[in-house]
Amino acid sequence: MGVSIIARQPNVLVVSPDRGWKTVNDLVAEAKANPGKMAFASAGVGSATHINGEKFKVSAGIDVLHVPYKGTPEALNDVMGKRVDYFFSPVVSALSIVREKKLMALAVGSPTRSSVLPDVPTTEEAGYKNSSYNYWAGVLAPAGTPPAVIERLNKELLAVLALPEVKERLSKIGADPAPTTPKEFDELVVRELAEYRELVKAAGIKAQ
């Protein structure tokens, strides 16, 4: 049973500056000109970075290879080294590298722009419908928890999320508070389970 989402933290589409791509459209044009020859990284099969990459792949209509890594650091290293073309990295992991200009941020994969990368457009703003990936963290309670308890937990959690020090702490990791009602959270989970079930099936994603 959902209590509330705590925060949303976008993934950011990063590439090596040496690729010469200035926009998402540049990357997509390259992929369409070279079907099956480009590759995107993920932090593992079925990870948030993988699902984000698959959603973008479907939306953009490109034929690219998925290369799963053991984790985000390994994926970032190989994007910088041009051994793989792009990666939807958690923003907290890529932010300092982007600011040092070792990687270029072409877009964020979230429905809205990131507060720490406000000048970077979303993939949907770039023209790729249904490409956004809603990466969130939330609080759930065991099934059967009395509604009054859920409401009390929600009220207390929202009060904490409104505290300036909490907002500041979340901002440091590239996350934005995203409080919801229990009903809104439950409905989101149901929608996303259905959506990602279809995506996993269409992309042929299998557990390893």
> pLDDT tens digits for 90-142?
999 999 999 999 999 999 999 999 989 999 999 999 999 999 998 899 999 99
The candidate with the shortest Cα–Cα distance to 189, out of 126, 181, 156, is 181
User: For residues 75 and 49, is the Cβ–Cβ distance under 8 A?
Assistant: yes
**Structure-block tokens of residue 202:** 């269409």
**Other beta carbons less than 10 A from residue 115's beta carbon:** 15
Q: What's the CA gap between 52 and 57, in Å, rounded? A: 9
153, burial (CB in 10 Å: exposed 0-12, middle 13-18, buried 19+): middle
CA distances from 81 to 19, 53, 74, 88, 108 (A): 11, 19, 11, 16, 21
Taking 80 as the threshold, does the pLDDT of residue 207 lie above it?
no
Contacts with 144 (C-beta within 8 Å, 6 or more apart), sequence order: 1
Q: What's the CA gap between 119 and 122, in Å, rounded? A: 10
β pairing state of 2-8 and 136-140: antiparallel
Confidence of residue 208 (pLDDT cuts 50, 70, 90): low
Q: What's the CA gap between 120 and 94, in Å, rounded? A: 13
For domain 10-133, the CATH superfamily is Periplasmic binding protein-like II (3.40.190.10)
Contacts with 143 (C-beta within 8 Å, 6 or more apart), sequence order: 1
Q: What residue type is 157 in one-letter code?
A: L
pTM (two decimals): 0.86
What tens digit of pLDDT does each residue of 32-88 get? Answer: 999 999 999 999 998 999 999 999 999 999 999 999 999 999 999 999 999 999 999
